[in-house]
């Protein structure tokens, strides 16, 4: 198989489709999404049998139980995917929105209008539901997609895309709007990253190796969904009961996510009063706590937190704890070890809350709330294709608006450049 | 000289400065800009003598008269640069603006705040005033810059940056805020494009070769300022006198710019009435007109427009003219040959105006106005670092806002993820 020719042909199809998609009405797009939802449900048998092939292969290869669980479809998960499609159909269409419009002294009106980006390439390693989420959000924002999922889900993903396209096309979706790369060779990813004539944006979703591949090789703009090494700083003036609840939530509620807390920073003025109860609670919830020397002197029996702990995104029930002299030390620690993802302060002090908001550089900065709330649904964006750790175009949770760009329109009456 | 070490050290300095720049108050930034303006003027003798070195070398190398003119500084041009700095000081500071803020059902407030991008690398080939413009706009938006100008202006650019930094630092500018790469080796550009640990955004301003180098090699997001192959479509329902004025302006007022018209498309219904007068006017203004067969049958004596003409950005007093059957043919021609830069329709018909605005994919689409108006000042952005031809982050004229990104802030009262 000539992988370059194959990927280029898919990308070209997506580009052609994207021109028609850009002017498709919301009515048609919504009908397409609802038809997809219905077909996913009514063809669940076909989906489950494709999934069975992937599961068989996964077991043969001895994949971990967690990975196999993520890969597994069942009627409940299929219904959830269908519900997701119906929710996207119900969201307002971002395309065509006049973001602002103003009049110039020479009388011409200048406006900024939201338009689709064009073709979005998504490279992902995660669960099959990402296929549905990514394709539907891009489609609602008027974009064609070219999808490259993980090899372990290839049969499931291919079946999903087939159902989506068939259902979509019967409701008016241009052919080629959702292209799936049915090739697991790494070269296929490299060819996507090189297809700058057809693909306008690359969104990689996955581990560090994928981020590095995309950043180092792409000739197309990349919006990264990279890791989060997130801190919560419990200030001298914190409400300690609130701090307890927030830190517990940030660590325990779903530790494998990018916005979970990995390091807790505690002001030394309240450390003795706070830490023993907090650490006991965390340990009872199954968390392994590792401490700096001061932490270990206050709460005996903890494992030592070494330099590597401050730089590790555990994604697990492990937490490193550091007692800091003052807020300056907390800010320095965050600037040095943080990944500019989700950072929180717990305090009742107005000035320090304000300073934290202004000085901490991260895609989301929290006062008195759990870092786990860094999420498109929680923020009210209606949906989320992921959390951008890039600074360009979109930063933080990406909803439908972030899957569009803008063009200027000028309504004139004969204006010239003087 | 170890070019990698040299560029990396400059980029590291800029990164360090950018952290302090991000929280610098508008008062200090404006004082810095005004001090720079004063010093540029009071040190004009030093500037002119540095410029003389570049001019001498340019003459020795036999550069064209146009290039030497662009390179030349004189007291008037220095005053213009100083005035530009004072204008940037007078603009509102985009940093810290709360773009929007809302309340979630759980009571937390979520806001989006404008923050600097960080370190912006500018690679340019143009006149020395770009050094002042780029550095001052990035600075006002809280960014550090790392500048790589053309070799022919190296002494002038180095002198400008020295003056800006000295004047700036005396008024509170962090050292390293404006870094100049005083090395004309191509490797220096390659090292900038690889310094993704320190540089957050690359803006190349120049010719096609530079765009290609940046796109193909950068590990850092790139916002291109690429070429414009711009069309004006004179519709069957155009006000012919308005069309005459607009086309004349779009072609003749400053033909060497990216938003000048390169191809005029004329509906066959009014072609006979319109073209003879229009082409006569253009020719009297010194324009060489090249026509399609229909154009040449209506206005004898024209050179033939061949396929290459439709794909050429002349940047000169040359125009290709095509008579089209209908609007569909005009739209197809623009989609096929345009560079998504500046596209205009001249019409009195409401429906076709609307259709043109919606269907033409370009960073600026005009009804009844000259494409030459695609410009940050003309649009009222207050300033312009250039016109982005990228679709990601910024599209069209880039002002101060486009030199920022955003972060989410969350003001909570103990909210958790359920």
For residue B373, the chain A residues in CB contact (below 8 A) are 108, 410, 412, 415-417
Q: What is the pLDDT of residues A166-218, one digit of tens each?
A: 999 999 999 999 999 999 999 999 999 999 999 999 999 988 899 999 999 99
Q: How confident is the model at residue A120 (pLDDT cuts 50, 70, 90)?
A: very high
Mean confidence (pLDDT) of chain B = 96
Q: Do A367 and B397 touch (CB under 8 A)?
A: no
Q: What is the mean pLDDT of residues B72-86?
A: 96
Angle value at C-alpha B324, between B318 and B326, nearest 5 degrees: 145
Give the per-residue pLDDT at A383: 85
CB half-sphere exposure, A34, CA atoms < 13 A: 10
Mean pLDDT (whole number) for B31-49? 97
Residue A99 is predicted with a pLDDT of 95
- Token pair 């003749």 is found at B252
Which residues of chain A have a CB within 8 Å of the CB of B222? 221
pLDDT of res. A370: 98
Give A226's contacts in chain B (Cβ within 8 Å): none
CB contact under 8 A, B361 and A407: yes
pLDDT value for A208: 86
**Among A209, A154, A131, A148, residue whose Cα is nearest residue A6:** A148
Entry field: residues in chain A? 418
- Chain B, nearest residue to A216 by Cα: B219
Q: What is the pLDDT of residues B165-177, one digit of tens each?
A: 999 999 999 999 9
Q: Which of B23, B239, B366 minimises the CB distance to A410?
A: B366
Residue B332 pLDDT: 97
Rounded to whole angstroms, the Cα distance separating A404 from A381 reads 14
| Residue A395 vs residues A176, A338, A403: alpha-carbon distances, Å | 29, 16, 12
pLDDT, position B206: 85
Helices B186-194 and B3-21, packing angle to 10 deg: 50
Give A117's contacts in chain B (Cβ within 8 Å): 391-392
Mean pLDDT over the full length of chain A? 96
- For the cut 80, the answer to whether the pLDDT of residue A153 exceeds it is yes
Q: How far apart are CA B334 and CA A8, in angstroms?
A: 24
A249 contacts chain B (CB < 8 A): yes
| pLDDT bracket for residue A413 (50, 70, 90) | very high
Name the residue with tokens 């049969």.
A155
Is the per-residue pLDDT at A127 higher than 90? no
User: What is residue A104's predicted lDDT score, i.e. its pLDDT?
Assistant: 97
The count of CB pairs under 8 A between chains A and B is: 206
Are the Cβ atoms of A108 and B373 closer than 8 angstroms? yes
Q: Which of A224, A414, A389, A246 is nearest to B370 (CA)?
A: A414
What distance in Å separates the CA atoms of residue B135 and residue A290, rounded to the nearest whole number? Answer: 46
How many angstroms separate the CA atoms of B108 and B122, rounded? 40
User: Cα–chain-centroid distance for residue B359?
Assistant: 24
In the structure encoding, which two tokens stand for residue B49, read together? 């003598």
Task: Quick: pLDDT tens for A242-251.
Answer: 999 999 999 9
Q: What is the CA radius of gyration of chain B?
A: 24
| Bridge partners (DSSP) listed for residue B42 | none
Query: Of the candidates B357, B375, B408, which has its C-beta nearest A364's C-beta?
Result: B408
Question: Is CATH 3.40.50.300 correct for B230-378?
Answer: no
Q: Does A405 touch chain B (CB under 8 A)?
A: yes
Alpha carbon distance B399, B381 (integer Å): 6
Average of pLDDT values for A268-292? 98
Q: Give B391's contacts in chain A (Cβ within 8 Å).
A: 117-118, 200-201, 221, 405
Confidence of residue B324 (pLDDT cuts 50, 70, 90): very high
C-alpha span between B189 and B197 (Å, rounded): 15
pLDDT exceeds cutoff 90 at A382: no
Cα B258 from Cα B270, distance rounded (Å): 28
Q: Do A409 and B359 touch (CB under 8 A)?
A: no
Q: Residue B31 and residue B111: Cα distance in Å, rounded?
A: 30
Average of pLDDT values for A118-127?
A: 92
Homologous superfamily assigned to B3-226+389-410: Aldehyde Dehydrogenase; Chain A, domain 1 (3.40.605.10)
Q: Which of residues 264-323 of B touch A (CB under 8 A)?
A: none
Contacts of residue A413 in chain B, CB cutoff 8 Å? 368-369
Q: What are the domain boundaries of chain A?
A: 3-226+389-410, 230-378
- Confidence at A29, pLDDT banded by 50, 70, 90: very high
Strand-pair category, B178-180 with B230-234: unpaired
Task: List the single residue in B with minimal CA-CA distance to A366.
Answer: B410
Q: What are phi and psi of A52, to 5 degrees?
A: -60, -40
Q: Give the Cα separation of B389 and B336 in Å (integer).
A: 16
Residues on chain A touching B390 (C-beta within 8 angstroms)? 221
Residue A110, pLDDT > 80, answer yes
Q: What is the pLDDT of residues B184-225, one digit of tens each?
A: 999 999 999 999 999 999 999 988 899 999 999 999 999 999
The answer, yes or no, to whether residue A322 has pLDDT greater than 80, is: yes
Q: pLDDT tens digits, residue range B354-403?
A: 999 999 999 999 999 999 999 999 999 988 999 999 999 999 999 999 99
Say yes or no: A244 contacts chain B, CB-CB below 8 A. no
CA atoms within 13 A on the CB side of A3: 14
Q: What angle do CA A349, A354, A359 make, to 5 degrees?
A: 130
Predicted local distance difference test score (pLDDT) of residue A66: 86
- Nearest to residue A376, comparing CAs of B104, B118, B123? B104
The percent of residues in chain B predicted with pLDDT above 70, rounded, is 100
Whether A319 contacts A287, CB under 8 Å = yes
Whether the pTM exceeds 0.90: the reply is yes
Least confident of A113-122, A202-211, B291-300, B391-400: A202-211
Q: What is the pLDDT of residues B236-274, one digit of tens each?
A: 999 999 999 999 999 999 999 999 999 999 999 999 999
Indicate yes or no: CB of A416 within 8 angstroms of CB of B362: no
Please state, in angstroms and rounded to a whole number, the distance separating the CA atoms of residues A278 and A298. 12
Residues 6+ apart with CB under 8 A from A174: A16, A17, A20, A21, A24
| Reported ipTM | 0.94
Whether B408 contacts chain A with CB within 8 A: yes
* H or E, element range at A74: none
Mutation target among B232, B412, B413, B418 for the A interface, most CBs of A within 10 A: B412
Radius of gyration of chain A from its Cα atoms, rounded to whole angstroms: 24
Statement: residue A126 has pLDDT above 80: no
Burial level of B237, CB count in 10 A (0-12/13-18/19+)? Answer: middle
pLDDT at position B66 is: 86
CA gap A84, B53 in Å, rounded: 66
């Amino acid at each position: 198989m000539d992988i370059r020719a194959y990927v280029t042909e898919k990308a070209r199809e997506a580009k052609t489709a994207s021109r028609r998609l850009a002017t498709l009405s919301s009515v048609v797009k919504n009908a397409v999404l609802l038809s997809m939802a219905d077909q996913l449900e009514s063809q669940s048998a076909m989906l489950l049998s494709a999934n069975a092939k992937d599961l068989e292969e996964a077991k043969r290869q001895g994949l971990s139980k967690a990975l196999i669980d993520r890969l597994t479809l069942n009627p409940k998960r299929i219904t959830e995917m269908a519900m997701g499609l119906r929710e996207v159909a119900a969201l307002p269409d971002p395309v065509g929105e006049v973001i602002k419009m103003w009049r110039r002294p020479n009388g011409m009106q200048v406006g900024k209008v939201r338009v689709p980006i064009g073709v979005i390439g998504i490279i992902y390693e995660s669960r099959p539901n990402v296929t549905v989420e990514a394709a539907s959000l891009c489609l609602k924002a008027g974009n064609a997609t070219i999808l490259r999922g993980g090899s372990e889900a290839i049969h499931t993903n291919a079946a999903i895309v087939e159902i989506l396209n068939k259902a979509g096309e019967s409701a008016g979706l241009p052919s080629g709007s959702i292209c799936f790369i049915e090739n697991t060779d790494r070269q296929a990813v490299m060819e996507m990253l090189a297809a700058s004539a057809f693909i306008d944006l690359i969104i990689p979703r996955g581990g560090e190796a994928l981020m590095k591949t995309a950043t180092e090789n792409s000739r197309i703009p990349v919006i990264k969904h990279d890791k989060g090494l997130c801190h919560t700083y419990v200030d001298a003036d914190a409400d300690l009961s609130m701090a307890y609840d927030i830190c517990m939530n940030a660590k325990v509620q779903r530790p494998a996510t990018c916005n979970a807390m990995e390091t807790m920073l505690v002001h030394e003025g309240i450390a003795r009063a706070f830490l023993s109860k907090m650490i006991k609670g965390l340990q009872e919830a199954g968390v392994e706590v590792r401490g700096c020397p001061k932490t270990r002197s206050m709460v005996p029996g903890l494992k030592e937190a070494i330099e590597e702990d401050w730089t590790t995104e555990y994604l697990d029930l492990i937490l490193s704890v550091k007692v800091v002299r003052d807020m300056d030390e907390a800010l320095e620690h965050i600037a040095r070890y943080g990944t500019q993802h989700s950072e929180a302060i717990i305090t009742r002090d107005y000035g320090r809350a304000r300073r934290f908001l202004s000085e901490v550089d991260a895609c989301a900065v929290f006062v008195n709330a759990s870092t786990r709330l860094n999420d498109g649904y929680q923020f009210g964006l209606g949906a989320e294709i992921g959390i951008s750790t890039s600074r360009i175009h979109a930063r933080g949770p990406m909803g439908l608006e972030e899957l569009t760009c803008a063009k200027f329109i000028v309504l004139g009456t004969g204006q010239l450049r003087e």
